[in-house]
Amino acid sequence: MARVKFLCDADRCIECNACVTACKNENEVPWGINRRRVVTINDGKPGERSVSMACMHCTDAPCAAVCPVDCFLTTADGVVVHNKDLCIGCGYCFYACPFGAPQYPKVGNFGSRGKMDKCTYCAGGPEADLTLAEYSKYGANRLAEGKLPICAEMCSTKSLLAGDGEIIAQIYKERVLKRGYGSGAWGWQTAYRETVAI
Amino acid sequence: MRIIASLKTALAAFALVLTLAVASPVSAQQSIQGVNPTAQAVKEQDLLRQLDAVSGRVSIPDQKSGLLIQPQGREWRQFHNTTMFWVGAIAVLGMIALLVVFYMTRGKIMIDGGFSGRTILRFNVFERFVHWLTAGCFIILALSGLNVTFGKSLLLPLIGHEAFTNVSVIAKYAHNFLAFPFMAGIVFMFAVWVRDNIPEGGDLAWLKAGGGLLGHDHPPAKKFNGGQKLIFWSVILGGVALSISGVLLLFPFFATTIWDMQIAQIVHGLVGLILVAIMLAHAYIGSVGMEGAFDAMGSGEVDLNWAKEHHSLWVKEEEAKKASMPKGMVAAE
Amino acid sequence: MLIKRKTGSARSSALQAVSAGLSSGTLDRRSFLKKSGLAAGGLAAFGAASVGTIRKAEAGPMKPGVPVVTRKNICTHCSVGCSVIGEMQNGVWVGQEPAWDSPINRGSHCAKGAAVRELVHGDRRLKYPMKLVNGEWTRITWDQAVSEIGDKMMEIRNKSGADSVFLLGSAKMSNEGAYLYRKFAAFWGTNSVDHQARICHSTTVAGVANTWGYGAQTNSYNDIRNSKTMIIMGGNPAEAHPVSLQHVLTGKEINRANLIVIDPRMTRTAAHATDYVRIRPGTDIPVIWGMLWHIFQNGWEDKKFIEQRVFGMDEVRKEVAKWTPEEVERVTGVPGEQLKRVAETFAKQKPSTLIWCMGATQKTVGTANVRAYCTLLLATGNVGAQGTGANIFRGHCNVQGATDMGLDVANLPLYYGLVEGAWRHWSRVWEVDYNWLQARFDEVPAKAGRPARTRKQNMELPGITTTRWFDAVLMPADQVDQRDNIKGMVVFGHGGNTVTRMPEVQKGLERLELLVVADPHPTTFAALAKRKEGTYLLPICTQFETDGSRTASNRSIQWGEKFVEPIFESKDDYEAIYMLATKLGFADTMFKNIKVEKNRPVPEDILREINRGGWSTGYTGQSPERLKAHMANQGDFDLVTLRAAKGPNAGDYYGLPWPCWGKPEIRHPGTHILYNTNLNVRDGGGAFRPRFGVEYQGKTLLAEGSYSAGSDLTDGYPEFTFGIFKKLGWDADLTADELATINRVGGANVDAVSWANDLSGGIQRVCLMHGVVPFGNGKARAIAWNLPDPVPIHREPIYSPRTELIAKYPALPDGRQLRMPNIGATIQKTAVEKGFAKEFPIILTSGRLVEYEGGGEETRSNRWLAELQQDMFVEINPADAAERGIKEGGWVWVTGPEYGSKARVKALVTERVGRGVAFMPFHFAGWFQGVDQRSNYPKGTDPIVLGESVNTVTTYGYDPVTGMQETKVTLCQIKAA
């Protein structure tokens, strides 16, 4: 059974932010919510690398484990989705998430958070596939249309890979062998307790 | 565990800053020359080894999003789902068990001399208002707090997801809003009772004697005995800890990082659970556990015999005060 | 269970994901999961009361059950030319899909390309025509606007002359729009028609054309995949051309190629380099000569190439000999060893390519820089073959096309220049009387010691550039070399914050009698100055709301389809220009051969007219039908060679990159790589263009022993005329019809009819038959005797921090160019005398961000992009920041040496810049010297993000050849605000 993952090849990532705006465009993500972001490490120094990051759809997802209302589930493809009808915006998933994926619209008083929003791997949500209800809460369901997440599909340098974890690991491995360097499959150790052996 | 990890992080960061500081004067324009940026690419595993986290620069204003990977989330999860779960369960259930056992063995603590029929004013209206304000808030805060930790295991299977979410949303708002009167109550409590809760020598003796709970000798006590002082200070210190950590959690990332938030949550959870356990004991002894005790916070007037047995010194003080008052004047109220 | 369990049975194989197309070696883009067979699982619906929607349902793209129309257009941002696929429902653009088939982007986009759908959402677009009435924006109709604008233009014309209306066009126009606008200027009677190329690659066009013939990228983005060594010098394509990095980085990986970045900033591109060379801004020529010093010293040059195909390299050797490693290090800061390594790599690990952008061009010495770059390529034999070349990454989506179409003060469309022959050629194509055209131009009286000009002389004199329009408004009339000052300005698709010396721009705007801004957005022009009257805003739609062709940087021409009708009351360029021409009374003549449907000239017909006249640049074979066939069959083209192996376009190069010789019917495939002698001209081969005669000082300018594959002539040869044809006996190959046309064109002087003005295309057709290049086979010039500094020499920037170097390397003496004085030398001298280098000790340079483009009005209005860069900033080195007590994210004042200019921006403390160097992006506007000008925009059209423009503090300095401004090197001081 395919288990989908993201892999950002930091040796290709140029912080162009296509993944970010593609996500906004495809899912009509509102201002202030960043389902995906690009972080530049060692900015301006030799060795600088940028990494595009969103929900990594972890194995044994910490968000799901700590959610007090049990609103998460992992699909058969390995996508971690959540049910906004159940979410109470408590913020626990943010504390537990190693990747800063959960986002909260600011609503109400104090720092009170609305329903959590995060990358859905362009797989929509618990609503029926490709319905307006699904779209308005979770965004597009490209997986149901036979497509991959838009961020990876539109990546300017084919740095961000999405798809079956084994296949993208293989692609990455081939690249590293061919070019002779690679800074690692960022986040894999933390998300999947495995890395791409080179 | 977590604290150690964060200390380690801090030390590592400090060390890095030091090396940077040493390196920087020579760097700038020249040291960057002649480099192969590809060969020097940062590697995730190295960064994680160095700092336990990976962070960098983002262009969006949400600076916390510059934290790329924080494996500590895993430790927090471990704490939340396992450590705190069991600490809480043991503390709360343990206390209940203890109280049951105590009730079975000791039974209700009766007034030795029976009701005298005469009462003495122990807490005035304001004191009682403060107490019940704080207590009322605390009960709801505690229940809603317990819900986020244990509700998933206890309540959710009973009522289902949808109903549980509805309960939890209400609980969340109750928790957020009642936090403020609760904090006010803590402040008032401190102001009203701190004078009588300064620890002194007698408290030790009182505690040594087990406060008369185990035997039948009641060590002498002023307005508050050693046990009550312990309750007072747990409430004040616990309340302050809960308030600070709670406010930090209420305004996410206002002045905190994710790690501060995690620590705040740990503090909030642990202190809350322990305070719940303490308050169970407090509630027990103030109600079913002791004859005549509830009146203190009920009508405010306690039976004189009860007062003499439990707060002999305080009764003397009160009587002395009364005696020294000019004729025609009655004590307040 | 409340959650829908997504059972994976139907989709498990589906995610056998991403194909080999992503791995570094194999290139099968088509399998990138396109038809991975992911089936929509029939999943149990779950309906619960919606407690937590975060978006409005109507914002959603795909409405279930409504038919979807899919169309293809080209991204409207940079010059890479990424295809965009739009999905439309009920005439609304609801979705964007990756265009996998495009050999240029293979589905990819950058932040801007992935956000283009928002442009047509248009929250902040200009919605209807407006004018200022006593300082208030007032809605008017199109008819009223055009009528009032036309009257005002005529008033200025009658009072001050046609040259007093400055026409500013746009690299955002399609080829057809740009061509129409240039034609409009010709019919109006002025050469002062310009566009963004002036401030981006005008010096490249001049420098490169003066070296080997044409002003364009010689190879392509895709061809970089063949390079073994790439130098990117003065460019940051990771931010400016992100999708190009797909080709650069893949090339780097599959060839284990050297990627050398030479730049003052450690850019996002430099992060991926194998060698990063940090230089002091403004020292490009010493760096290049420093490299050549090692190359000549060690005999690494390509001697055969130089001998056969290069003229004047010996002159260069003399200049290069002065640039010893020590002197280079003293001037540029680059250590000799590193430069030697770079030079050796470039010369020996071939093929090598040199990639450059604004870092080379936006300089007072821009043209000289570019020629030095070309010389390095020539010396190492790295032009005219796969993996080599001058890979000039141009800026806007159609800046190449708009340049080709002559939105340039010194050219008619397709580089014919302004000479009489050029005007006569185009008047033949336009079927308009040459004398009528001439009569449209001003007579210029004698002024300030300069002689008077006749209409004909004025018609042949280059106009005023966009870098100086405000000087031409403000300066005393006798300083401006035309009948009168500029009084009116009509701007189509151009930002107002794009030129240096903004405090003067503001004054110039205030002085203008007429200001017309025709644009999707009001632009900075509308907000910068406090104008009260005489200001008109015309809503123009984006290229997604019209159709037409655009030319990518690699000269590939792509046809874009209209996605949706123009939104609000906007109109496309064609219609707006037609309305103006109608009002001004020359529409009938101007659109004589162009079909007009409901007021809108048909773009296909405009392109056909371009095809009929574009012989000089090979813009003749790209008929709309061929271009559309390419767009429809993009998948047939090879990723690396860009050539179609199969399908209806078999043999063609993608987008028929010019030159595409002859008429469309002869099906020339276009030219992927310019000057490539390894191929037959019929297959896109070529040679250097002998554009400057056949000999100079007794030495031949024609190639020696070098010729394109399969050529009937096996040595150098000049451009082909009917006269030469007769000598070769090739006139016999011409058909009777062709001969008739040649006779008609030539009249009394039929022998002079050439490949460039033979309207029959016969000469080009017969040239291809014989395998010869129509423009001839010459040598590239390492010396350009017609330009200042025939061999490029280093000149310190006008505002240089290294005042001690100025005596040895001074600016060019003051002079007059392009109708304006250029007093760079005086200003440089004054700056030294006043000690500006002490008062303003930090070098200020500027450049692009990936999220924004150009003046930024459009992109800063796009909510998906604006969120990513919300504040104008200055990059400052940690050491400089620490000295000044400046903190990351804190507000600072950046002050400049002219006009007491200042800008309030945020500090970004970073080692991207070296000590003593600061960088600011150039996309911001809407704040001016600390004042927020948001209220100056018409309501609801203000961009989401405003900020100070870097050009508030940039300073004087103009390239003598093209009038290019200096945006890359000036001085500033920074202090905490």
The 3-state DSSP class for residue C907 equals strand
- Chains touching A (at least 3 CB pairs under 8 A) are B, C
**Distance in angstroms (rounded) separating the CA atoms of residues C457 and C438:** 9
Question: In degrees rounded to 5, what are phi and psi of residue C842?
Answer: -105, 135
Q: How many domains does chain A have?
A: 1
More confident residue, C56 or C739: C739
Residue-level pLDDT at C623:
97
Residues C936-973 have pLDDT tens digits of 999 999 999 999 999 999 999 999 999 999 999 999 99
Interface test with C, best of A21, A143, A148 (most C CBs within 10 A): A21
pLDDT given at position B109: 86
Q: Which of C935, C790, C942, C792 is nearest to C283 (CA)?
A: C792
Q: Is C963 helix (H, G, I), strand (E, B) or coil?
A: coil
Beta carbons of C131 and C535 less than 8 angstroms apart: yes
> CA geometry: angle at B39 spanning B38 and B43, to 5°?
90
User: What's the pLDDT score for residue C17?
Assistant: 36
* Cα-based distances in Å from A28 to A20, A135, C117: 11, 9, 11
Residue with the bigger pLDDT between A197 and C198: it is C198
Q: Tell me if residue C943 falls in helix, strand or coil.
A: coil
B38 contacts on A by Cβ (under 8 Å): 11, 181
pLDDT at A74: 93
Chain B residues within 8 A of C272 when measuring between CB atoms: 37-38
DSSP single-letter state for residue A82: E
User: Nearest-CA distance from B137 to chain A in Å?
Assistant: 19
Task: With CB atoms and an 8 Å threshold, state whether C915 touches B59.
Answer: no
Task: Check CB contact of C38 with chain A, cutoff 8 Å.
Answer: yes
Q: Could you tell me the residue range of the domain that residue A55 belongs to? A: 4-192
B83, part of any domain: no
Q: Which strands make up the sheet holding C69-74, listed edge to edge?
A: C69-74, C83-89, C92-97
The separation between the first and the last C-alpha atoms of chain B, rounded to the nearest angstrom, is: 54
The helix/strand count (H/E) of chain C reads as: 32, 34
Phi, psi of C247 (to 5 degrees): -75, -40
Helix (H, G, I), strand (E, B) or coil at C217: coil
Choose among C59, C109, C864: nearest Cβ to A156: C109
Q: Mutual orientation of helices C325-332 and C336-348 as an angle, nearest 10°?
A: 110
What is the per-residue pLDDT for A27? 94
Residue B326 located in a structural domain: no
Q: Is A32 helix (H, G, I), strand (E, B) or coil?
A: coil
pLDDT at B199: 87
d(CA C673, CA C553): 12
Cα(C678)–Cα(A111) distance, integer angstroms:
68
Candidates C745, C751, C755, C748; CA nearest to C424 is: C745
Mutate to test the interface with C, among A1, A3, A15, A25 (most CBs of C within 10 A): A25
Domains contained in chain B, number = 1
The answer to whether C396 and C81 are in contact (CB under 8 A) is no
Structure tokens at A43: 């900015």
Query: In CATH, what number is assigned to the domain containing residue B298?
Result: 1.20.950.20
Q: How far away is chain A from the Cα of B278, in angstroms, using its nearest Cα?
A: 24
- Give the mutation candidate from B35, B55, B58 for the C interface (greatest C CB count, under 10 A): B35
Q: How far apart are CA B142 and CA B242, in angstroms?
A: 11
Largest CA distance in chain C: 92
| Helices within chain B (DSSP H only) | 2-23, 28-31, 44-51, 72-78, 84-106, 125-146, 152-154, 156-159, 161-193, 201-208, 226-250, 258-286, 304-310, 312-324
The string of DSSP letters for C404-466 reads HTT-STT-SGGG--SSHHHHHHHHHHHT--HHHHHHTSPPB--BTTBPPB-HHHHHTS----T
- Between CA C296 and CA C568 the distance in angstroms is 62
At B51 the pLDDT is 78
Mean of pLDDT values over C225-253: 97
Let me know how many helices (H) and strands (E) chain A has, helices first.
7, 6
pLDDT tens figures, C763-798: 999 999 999 999 999 999 999 999 999 999 999 999
The SS3 of residue C802 is: coil
Q: What pLDDT sits at residue A109? A: 58
**Per-domain residue ranges of chain C:** 130-200+399-617, 204-392, 621-685, 689-778, 803-976
pLDDT value of position B216: 64
Neighbours of C (≥3 Cβ pairs closer than 8 A)? A, B
B44 versus C289: the higher-pLDDT residue is C289
In this structure, is residue A90 part of a structural domain?
yes
Specify the pLDDT at position C923: 96
Q: Which is higher by pLDDT, A100 or C19?
A: A100
The answer to whether position B5 is within a domain reads: no
Angstrom distance (rounded) from CA C279 to CA C794: 14
Strand partners, C535: C515
**Nearest C-alpha of chain B: how many angstroms from C276?**
6
Q: What angle, rounded to 10 degrees, do the helices at C603-613 and C420-430 form?
A: 140
* Assigned token pair, C659: 């030159």
Angle between helix C573-584 and C142-160 (nearest 10): 50
Cβ contact (<8 Å) for A37 and B261? no
Pair C786, C701: CB distance under 8 Å: no
Mean pLDDT of C90-96: 93
Taking only the tens place, the pLDDT of each residue in C523-575 is 999 999 999 999 999 999 999 999 999 999 999 999 999 999 999 999 999 99
Report the neighbours of B using a cutoff of 3 or more CB pairs below 8 angstroms: A, C
Q: What is the CATH number of the domain that holds A161?
A: 3.30.70.20
Q: With beta carbons under 8 A apart, name residues in chain A contacting B40.
A: 46-47
Which residue is closest to C8 within chain A, CA to CA?
A76
Beta bridge partners of A103: A117
Query: Is residue A24 in some structural domain?
Result: yes
Q: Convert the pLDDT of each residue in C911-943 to its tens digit.
A: 999 999 999 999 999 999 999 999 999 999 999
Distance from the first to the final alpha carbon of chain C: 58
Whether B33 and C272 lie within 8 Å, measured CB to CB: no
Consecutive 10-residue averages of pLDDT for chain A (198 residues)? 89 96 95 95 93 96 95 94 93 93 78 85 92 91 93 96 94 94 92 85
Residues in chain C within 8 Å Cβ distance of A48: 266, 268, 271
Query: Rounded to an integer, what distance in angstroms lies between the CA atom of residue B81 and that of residue B79?
Result: 6
The amino acid at residue B43 is K
Coil, helix or strand for C336? helix
Instruction: Compare all CA atoms of chain C with the CA of A170 and give the residue at the minimum distance.
Output: C23
**Average pLDDT rounded to a whole number, residues C792-806:** 97
Range of the domain at B103: 95-319
Q: Which run of H or E residues covers position C902?
A: strand C902-909
Lowest pLDDT segment from C24-28, C34-38, C409-413, C945-949: C34-38
The Cβ-side half-sphere exposure at C858, using a 13 Å CA radius, reads 26
Within 10 angstroms of residue C833's Cβ, the number of other Cβ atoms is: 9
Q: Is C273 on the interface with B (CB under 8 A)?
A: yes
Task: Just give the CATH number of C803-976.
Answer: 2.40.40.20
CATH architecture designation of domain C130-200+399-617: 3-Layer(aba) Sandwich (3.40)
* All residues at 6 or more sequence positions from B108 whose CB lies less than 8 Å from its CB, including other chains: B288, B289, B290, B291
Q: C701: which DSSP letter?
A: -
Of A11, A16, A175, the CB nearest to C850: A16
Domain C204-392 belongs to what topology? Dimethylsulfoxide Reductase; domain 2 (3.40.228)
**pLDDT on residue C2:** 36
Q: Determine the 3-state secondary structure of C159 from DSSP.
A: helix
Average pLDDT over residues C681-694: 95
pLDDT of residue C45: 27
Chain B partners within 8 Å of A100 (Cβ): 64-65, 67-68, 70, 258
Q: What are phi and psi of B221, to 5 degrees?
A: -145, 150
Residue ranges in chain B whose pLDDT is less than 70? 1-34, 212-217, 325-333
* 3-state helix vs strand vs coil in chain B, percent to 5: 70, 5, 25
Q: How are beta strands C229-233 and C352-356 bridged, if at all?
A: parallel
Name the E strands within C457-556.
Answer: 488-492, 514-519, 535-539, 548-551
Alpha-carbon Rg for chain C in angstroms? 27
The closest CB to that of C868, out of B34, B59, B162, belongs to B59
Give the A window 51-70 contacts with B, CB below 8 Å: 51, 53, 62, 65-70
Of C41, C55, C242, the CB nearest to A136: C55
**A198 lies in a domain?**
no
Cβ–Cβ under 8 Å, residues C190 and C412: no
CB distance from C723 to chain B under 8 Å?
Answer: no
Within a domain: A197: no
From chain A, the residues in CB contact with B56 under 8 A are 39-43, 50-51
Domain assignment present for B289: yes
Residues C525, C491: contact at Cβ < 8 Å? yes
Min Cα–Cα distance to chain A from C562, Å: 20
Strands A80-82 and A72-74: antiparallel
**Distance between CA atoms of residues A28 and A150, nearest Å:** 12
**Which of C333, C868, C914 minimises the CB distance to B60?**
C868
Cα B205 from Cα C428, distance rounded (Å): 117
Q: How many CB atoms lie within 10 A of CB B202?
A: 15
pLDDT, chain C, mean: 92
